[in-house]
């Protein structure tokens, strides 16, 4: 009967684990809805400010912002990695970090120096193990990111680009497709991609009047543009994280249920074998008498 007792203890342990995974699934589902709402609110703003930058690039201004100028030689590159602070969200962080590692290896192969800005604890820990030069980092942005707290880490990378310390900046994060599908994406952040700037296909262009002058206005606009893109990336990543965690916890709960059924079957067989053995011993004893 010691084997049956051990199986009962295993069943009890798995049931306790199942209760936890079910609770985490419900919490993730609730957080996912709020995260999706913030993500959907961020998308129109990001698209609109991109249109404004497209219009600005077509204006005949004498001032050309550094964010719009492509460097002829790339000696140093920067990468901004958006990840989660917590685990238990399936392969979400693994996919993002694998994409990051692929990009780092390409730069290393070409002899390009690398520095990084990390948003999220998982990315910071991963790049730390790779001995990557992390010039800024921000963790603990929680379920509701605040752009005021993210700006500090992003500003370090932007200043490095302005000062010529970085010639190219790449952004890596997870794009939310739907509840069951999230894809890691990696694309050029700085200089602003020309294909983005040429999306406006109007046959005409116009000049702007800047007060007091073009430089501070354009600098502020493009800085806000980068911050809006980063905020949208963080919002997309949080929505993806909650969706992935909900799916992972549901799968864990289902697997726990299957394991309980299997253990229950083994327990029943063990119990039936013990009963059969006891009956056989009683019958054998009676026959001996």
pLDDT at 153: 87
Q: What is the DSSP string of 101-135?
A: HHHHHHHHHTT-EEEEEEESHHHHHHHHHTT-EEE
**pLDDT tens per residue, range 129-186:** 999 999 999 888 877 788 888 888 888 999 999 888 999 999 999 988 888 888 999 9
The pLDDT-based confidence of 60 (bands split at 50, 70, 90) is: low
Bond prior to 191 in cis (omega within 30° of 0): yes
- Cα–Cα nearest to 56, from 162, 194, 161, 205: 205
Mean pLDDT over each residue of the chain, to the nearest integer: 83
Question: 3-state DSSP call for residue 153?
Answer: helix
The pLDDT-based confidence of 54 (bands split at 50, 70, 90) is: low
pLDDT at residue 17 is higher than 70: yes
Q: List the helix and strand counts (H, then E) for the chain.
A: 6, 5
pLDDT at 2: 65
Q: Which residues pair with 137 in a beta bridge?
A: 118
- 148 burial via Cβ count (<10 Å: 0-12, 13-18, 19+): exposed
pTM of the model as a whole: 0.81
- When mean pLDDT is compared over 25-29, 102-106, 142-146, 275-279, the highest value belongs to 102-106
pLDDT at 202: 54
**pLDDT tens per residue, range 236-270:** 888 888 888 888 898 888 898 898 888 888 888 88
Bond prior to 212 in cis (omega within 30° of 0): yes
- 166 burial via Cβ count (<10 Å: 0-12, 13-18, 19+): buried
Q: Is the distance from CB of 226 to CB of 67 less than 8 angstroms?
A: yes
- Cα–Cα nearest to 133, from 109, 157, 162, 151: 157
The whole-angstrom separation of Cα 229 and Cα 79 is 14
Terminal-to-terminal C-alpha distance of the chain: 27
The pLDDT-based confidence of 11 (bands split at 50, 70, 90) is: confident
- The dihedral over CA atoms of 189, 140, 17, 179, expressed in degrees to the nearest 10, equals -30
């Amino acid at each position: 009967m010691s084997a049956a007792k051990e199986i009962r203890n295993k069943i009890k342990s798995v049931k306790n684990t199942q209760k936890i995974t079910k609770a985490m699934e419900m919490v993730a589902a609730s957080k996912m809805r709020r995260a999706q709402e913030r993500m959907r609110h961020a998308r129109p703003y990001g698209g609109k400010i991109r249109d404004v930058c497209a219009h600005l690039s077509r204006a005949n201004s004498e001032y050309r912002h550094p964010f719009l100028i492509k460097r002829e030689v790339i000696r140093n590159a920067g990468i901004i990695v958006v990840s989660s602070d917590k685990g238990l969200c399936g392969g979400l962080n693994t996919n993002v970090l694998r994409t990051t590692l692929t990009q780092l290896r390409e730069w290393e192969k070409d002899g390009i120096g690398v520095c990084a800005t990390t948003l999220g604890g998982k990315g910071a820990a991963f790049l730390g193990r790779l001995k990557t030069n992390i010039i800024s980092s921000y963790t603990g942005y929680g379920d509701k990111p605040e752009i005021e707290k993210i700006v500090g880490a992003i500003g370090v990378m932007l200043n490095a680009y302005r000062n010529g310390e970085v010639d190219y900046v790449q952004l890596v994060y997870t794009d939310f497709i739907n509840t069951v599908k999230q894809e890691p994406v990696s694309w050029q952040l700085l200089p602003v991609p020309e294909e983005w700037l040429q999306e406006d296909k109007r046959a005409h262009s116009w000049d702007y009047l800047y007060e007091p002058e073009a430089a501070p206005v354009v600098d502020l606009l493009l800085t806000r543009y980068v911050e809006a893109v980063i905020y949208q990336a963080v919002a997309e990543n949080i929505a993806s994280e909650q969706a992935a965690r909900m799916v992972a916890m549901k799968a864990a709960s289902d697997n726990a249920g299957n394991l309980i059924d299997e253990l229950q079957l083994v327990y029943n067989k063990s119990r039936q074998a013990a009963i059969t053995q006891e009956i056989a011993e009683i019958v054998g004893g009676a026959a001996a008498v």
